[in-house]
Amino acid sequence: MLFISLSKIQKKIVESIRARRLQMELTQEGLSERAGVPLSTLRKFEQKGVISLDSFLKILSVVGGLEEIVDALKPKEQHFKSIDEVLKSEEQSTRKRGNRK
């Protein structure tokens, strides 16, 4: 459940990336060249928060944070309260697909 709107999250991400860029003393042009992302795409991202995942990951690879994103998206480890829960989890197979709907 989200307690913050998606637009606010988007704005915080843009501000964070911009702050990292400025901390590295990179211009938009410099980051664009290093990341291999068109300058117009970078400008649109910093103004409106709109960008493709591919371009976003390229930018993160330059300004940092890519590893943190990957780590944050890893499935959470299960914490068991009893040996019965451990045995039960071993019996259940891990789903590889979602339900058809």
Length of the chain: 101
| Alpha-carbon span 67 to 95, nearest angstrom | 25
- Identify the band that residue 78 occupies on the pLDDT scale cut at 50, 70 and 90: confident
| Alpha-carbon span 18 to 42, nearest angstrom | 10
Q: Which 3-state string (H, E, C) describes 10-28?
A: HHHHHHHHHHHHHHCCCCH
* Superfamily name and number for 9-90: lambda repressor-like DNA-binding domains (1.10.260.40)
In this prediction, residue 88 carries a pLDDT of: 77
Q: What residue segments make up the domains of the chain, in order of their start?
A: 9-90
User: Where does 3-48 show beta strands of DSSP type E?
Assistant: none
**65, burial (CB in 10 Å: exposed 0-12, middle 13-18, buried 19+):** middle
- Model confidence pLDDT, tens digit, residues 47-73: 999 999 999 999 999 999 999 999 999
